[in-house]
A and B are shown apart, each in its own frame.
Chain A
């Protein structure tokens, strides 16, 4: 068995400390309904898993997160790249991005529901509009930092456009895309929960809304913490290894 390094040990101890404080706080509260202990929350989550409610809510939310994430990353990536490469495109895009960055997410969601209707298209569009500006800004910086000498090499050798994008441009943009992706995922799922809470009949956000109306703190904690853990798992098990793989060449320097 491998030894745990000190940073991992400290992280685990910190996490244990959080659970211990939570447990202590739950013991001290007058009403267990106000702050249930970790064991009650875990038991509730387990029961919801067994009766299928929690997996169904997770599946609905994950589908929305995945679609919105891909659309925001792709659309924001393309617009950000073009804005970074062309001053004219940037002059057109920049005011929209500034407005997008400063417009409260809640306003975007409410307007999308009013204008498009209470459906998934409006929900996903609202999430994409709320998330895309940060992707645009990050990828724009990456496009501005592209190495012109490599672009000239590709031009001098008449490389086909697909090959230029895949082998010359994309590897340089990957660190920026990875940064946008990692921050993007954490923002996206939080917005999706808000969108579901305000106007969808399924998903974790909808479940949280029901628990809120019934003053069910155990349910709120069980669904909220379980989904946050799942998102952390996705980031740690999928996004970070992808980023490491994409930038592995740097370790040869």
Chain B
């Protein structure tokens, strides 16, 4: 289980708090979406739960043994091939992955011998996903994982991650600012908003077409302000399919 409690987080350059009063837990098998507008501190929150940022008041307790990470940028080593980048994070104590199979899974079966500089951003992000899955994580943390992929590929990969998580029982925490995408995939939504950012709502997303869920989200989403695509939260909500509905691509 992952237990996160952030009483207050501020940056050295700005005494104003950026995160305040955020507490939640993540259990095995859950797919938790952190939803909030750009600049709300979602990445900061992920950095804290990964142990990369320890300058905050609060506590993070993580019982998961292997944590796979997909950062917003791919963060591949340019001097290693794609295969070696994936192999790098696998130690001898871990189950040894079939790297060819992993690359096939992210539709990059041909790219094992290439170097990151020879990949597009979308390809590099898929390698980063394969790298995170290579350690057979019991917690997978992803920061806007499908942002730079085309809609069809992003949807296919998101579906793949959901299937993988359901099969293995691993937990997933992902950030997104796309409500409709989040609702299609996650089992729980944490809505972050306000100044400083607080946890506005912790909503289970299990029941399809649940009118009460819509109402609750709409209620909370008004805190978020306009999304980066220019739509208001209400427009965003009205334009999306109901939870549980999967549009044929």
Q: CB within 8 Å of B: which residues of A?
A: 149-150, 152-153, 155-160, 163, 167-168, 171, 249-250, 252-253
Contact = CB atoms under 8 A, between A and B. Distances in A.
Contacts, number: 50
* 10 closest A-B pairs by CB: A249-B79, A153-B75, A157-B89, A253-B117, A156-B69, A171-B79, A252-B115, A156-B50, A252-B117, A152-B52
Contacts of A153: 69, 71, 75
Interface residues of B, number: 21
Given A153-B75, A167-B80, A252 B118 contact: yes
Interface in B118-148: 118, 135
Contacts of A149: 71, 73, 75
A159 B89 contact: yes
B77 A150 contact: yes
B170 to A, nearest CB: 16
Nearest to B47: A152
A78 B50 CA distance: 29
In this complex, the member of B50, B52, B69, B77 whose beta carbon has the largest number of chain A beta carbons within 10 angstroms is B77
A249 B80 CA distance: 8
B143 to A, nearest CB: 11
A159 B88 contact: yes
Given A156-B52, A157-B89, A167 B118 contact: no
Nearest to A253: B117
A62 B117 CA distance: 41
Nearest to A149: B75
Nearest to B46: A156
Given A152-B47, A157-B135, 5 more contacts: A153-B69, A153-B75, A156-B50, A159-B91, A253-B78
Contact of A163 (B67, B68, B75, B88): B88
B244 interface: no
Contact of B75 (A150, A159, A160, A250): A150
22 contacts: A149-B73, A150-B77, A152-B71, A152-B75, A153-B69, A153-B75, A155-B51, A156-B50, A156-B67, A156-B69, A156-B71, A157-B68, A159-B89, A160-B91, A167-B77, A171-B77, A171-B79, A249-B79, A249-B115, A252-B78, A252-B117, A252-B118
A234 B89 CA distance: 37
A110 to B, nearest CB: 44
Contacts of A156: 50-52, 67, 69, 71
A155 B77 CA distance: 14
B81 to A, nearest CB: 9
Contacts of B68: 157
Contacts of B135: 157
Contacts of B118: 252
A159 B131 CA distance: 13
Contacts of A171: 77, 79
A253 B73 CA distance: 18
Contacts of B115: 249, 252
Interface string B168-183: 0000000000000000
Contacts of A150: 75, 77
A252 B78 CA distance: 9
Of B71, B75, B91, most A-chain CB atoms within 10 Å: B75
Contacts of A168: 77
Interface string B38-62: 0000000001001110000000000
A213 B78 CA distance: 57
Nearest to B80: A167
Contact of B88 (A167, A249, A250): A167
Contacts of A152: 47, 52, 71, 75
B102 to A, nearest CB: 15
Contacts of B50: 156
A156 B115 CA distance: 22
Contact of B69 (A157, A167, A249, A250): A157
A159 B47 CA distance: 17
Contacts of B117: 249, 252-253
Contacts of A167: 77, 80, 88
